[in-house]
Structure 1
Amino acid sequence: MRFRKKSLFILLALLAIFELLLRFGFGFCNAPLYIEDPDFEYIFAPNQYRFRFRNVVKTNEFSLRSEPINPADTTVVLLVGDSVINGGNPTDHDDLASTILEKKLTQHYKQTIRVLNVSAGSWGPDNAFAFLKKKGLFGADVMCLVTSSHDAYDNMSHHKIVGVNPNYPEKQYKVALYEFWHRYIYNLFIYHYVEVPLKEWLSPATQSAPNDVIHKFGTTFNAGYQQLADTTKALGIPFFMYLHPELSEIDQNQYDSQGKEILDFARKNHIFVIDELKINQKDHSLTRDLFRSPEFDSIHYNAKGQAYMAKHLYPVLKQYLDAYFSKHARTHRP
């Protein structure tokens, strides 16, 4: 009996230590939360400051992964896209390309240059356009759309995912141990590698898509590309794109058919594109995929990748901003 009590006490103590470690060491029960929107589907909830997986994830009053908007922000760059620029939980605020660019451009011009991060995980260009149409362009002087091949037909579906998809929570877990089990052990491993194969084997006709992936089955080229191009042209805002390939495209040194459609769209609309395939010499160290396997992340940048993207965006943005300051004859130019 004494041995059982001692064993139970040790077990409870270990669970308590693990609970505290998950909470205060890795930010469990402190995930960035999402809100729904009838126009652009979903986005991070506004005014958040989260410590998650040892990274700071914060949003401003407009749900952007940027510092708060200030009325004195007279020069604004919009960096628009999906999880590639949003970064999600694995990317610290200071490591984001938008944060790096904002600091570097502000230092160069010796005045505040805002680089606003307009993004959400799995957004298509139509999501981004719908957000900007609803919230405004924030006085943008330059806009860059960061896109990838899979965005070409990634059209809005307005299926409910906030609070349903475990990657898009609307409220916090109350117990870190349960979050660790349910969101990461069960959903990432048991569900995928045990439950789904078993259901497919027993009843393949009734098996639905896994619930941790957003599936948008578009049949037409995403309208957001044209909407963003037409709107910026009408308002006289310089607009260009950054085309980011997946590892498989880097290995083959060519985009898939959808990536080629994006390049064709850009050529037809006279839109400048930073084509990463032309500058990336098969560098796999820029993404989170350490094992070069399709089962791991083959598209999202790590901190080194965010800095890489910022490095190649900087001279293009500087060129547009130099022209902007020249046109407006700013006397405090460097």
Structure 2
Amino acid sequence: MLKYLYGLLIGIVILAGIAEVVLRVKYGFCNSPLYVSDPDFEYIYAPNQDVERFGQVIRTNQFSMRNEEILPSDSIIILLIGDSVVNGGSLTDQDSIASTILEKRFQQDFKTRVRVLNISAGSWGPDNVAAYLKKYGVFKAKLMCLVTSSHDAYDIMSHQSPVGIDPGWPDKQYKVALYELWDRYRWIFFYYLDTVLLTTEPEKPVITAENKPDPAKADTVQLDSAKQETLNQAGIRKPGTNFNPGYRQLLEIAETNKIPFFIYLHPEISEVEMGHFNDQGKEIMAFAKENNVRLINELQLGVSTKLYRKMDLVHYNAQGQIFMADNLYPLFQEYLKLPR
């Protein structure tokens, strides 16, 4: 019996060692992109990172942007601002995010270095972005584009940073990959245990590691159904009670710096299925109309649910990032008037 238990223990140790190596080498555990807290805009990726996670490369410059460093010689600069839709997170490779695609396309077509600065973070609202720009300036930009979604209308800063508190916002690397797997992703196990094994209710949308609700903002997700009488209430609902002041703050920043500014309104899955934006999306559209801000309605551009990550509510897959880049490219060209 003792010999059997000893053999079992050796086997467990060997399996754990193999799992540790696989998690580190193949999936990038203990090599997560880190975050830093900020008193003005809550949090952002830590600066000067170059990590590989889930097979995807994530790099940040000294200003925590998902970009190469800004050079003194950079004279044509666009600000592409927003939340995780723009940022891509650790499930999107650096070369697959729209900002990188656009920079490469401008370089190829115009033989000119055009910088598309990716100023974003997961769960940011427009007020987070505005606070960032107030702190660091607009980097001599010639154009500013806000990518936003309906839920941003009431996604107002709480100034309660989850960095170093919630495992989804780490400020230091884990030392053991198996512990990181348990600490950060055990909710997936319990989610499936609850929804798949212990209930017979209809399936709920699966929340991925990248769009896991931010406890600091207490998101709630409501399912959309064609049979619901209150279709306008579908989608992600934020707890704010007032329209996000960041929209007006960004407009004021653009006007002060004499920068053209427009809004790119990106729908959630439920809105793609409905064919129109919900009540919060319509408020953003009303703000744009009332303030003479150009708004690009992505629903009018042929967006499809195939462009979203599997079992996700709002985030693009790699093809979706290309779709956004394809839509933004002629708009940016129009404003910049680059000669061929």
In structure 2, the partner of 1:203 is none
- Give CA deviations for 1:190-231 in whole Å, capped at 9, x if unaligned: 27866xxx9xxxxxxxxxxx8657326221111111111122
TM-score for both structures, normalised by structure 2: 0.85
Q: Please show how residues 111-260 of structure 1 align to structure 2 within 5 Å.
A: 111-185=112-186, 187-190=187-190, 214-215=217-218, 217-260=239-282
In 1: Cα distance, 2:181 partner to 2:240 partner: 33
In 2: Cα distance, 1:297 partner to 1:18 partner: 27
Matched, 1:37 2:26: no
In 1: Cα distance, 2:138 partner to 2:332 partner: 17
In structure 2, the partner of 1:24 is 25
Structure number with the higher helix fraction is 1
Number of corresponding residues: 304
Q: Which moved more, 1:151-160 or 1:114-123?
A: 151-160
Which runs of 5 or more structure 1 residues have no equivalent in the other structure? Answer: 199-209, 291-295, 326-332
Q: Helix, strand or coil for the counterpart of 2:8?
A: helix
- Give CA deviations for 1:55-81 in whole Å, capped at 9, x if unaligned: 001110000111111111110010000
Instruction: Give the C-alpha shift of residue 106 in structure 1.
Output: 1.9
Q: Helix, strand or coil for the counterpart of 1:219?
A: coil
* Kept in 2: contact 1:32–1:44 (CA 8 A): yes
Q: Which amino acid aligns with 2:332?
A: L
**CA pair 213-252 structure 1, distance change in 2 beyond 3 A:** farther
**CA pair 92-213 structure 1, distance change in 2 beyond 3 A:** farther
- Give CA deviations for 1:71-112 in whole Å, capped at 9, x if unaligned: 111100100000001011100000000000011012222121
**CA pair 166-214 structure 1, distance change in 2 beyond 3 A:** farther
**CA pair 297-212 structure 1, distance change in 2 beyond 3 A:** farther
Q: Which amino acid aligns with 2:189?
A: F
Q: Please show how residues 301-312 of structure 1 align to structure 2 within 5 Å.
A: 301-312=316-327
* Kept in 1: contact 2:155–2:240 (CA 8 A): yes
In structure 1, the partner of 2:299 is 277
In 2: Cα distance, 1:299 partner to 1:213 partner: 19
Q: Which amino acid aligns with 1:249?
A: E
Instruction: Give the C-alpha shift of residue 164 in structure 1.
Output: 1.4
Q: Helix, strand or coil for the counterpart of 1:50?
A: strand
TM-score for both structures, normalised by structure 1: 0.87
- Give CA deviations for 1:12-31 in whole Å, capped at 9, x if unaligned: 11110110000011000111
* Kept in 2: contact 1:250–1:280 (CA 8 A): no
Q: Helix, strand or coil for the counterpart of 2:147?
A: strand
In structure 2, the partner of 1:51 is 52
In 2: Cα distance, 1:308 partner to 1:180 partner: 33
Which runs of 5 or more structure 2 residues have no equivalent in the other structure? Answer: 199-212, 219-237
In 2: Cα distance, 1:285 partner to 1:163 partner: 34
In 2: Cα distance, 1:269 partner to 1:51 partner: 42
In structure 1, the partner of 2:96 is 95
Instruction: Give the C-alpha shift of residue 8 in structure 1.
Output: 2.3
State the identity %.
Answer: 52
**CA pair 213-306 structure 1, distance change in 2 beyond 3 A:** farther
CA-based RMSD: 1.9
In 2: Cα distance, 1:161 partner to 1:232 partner: 30
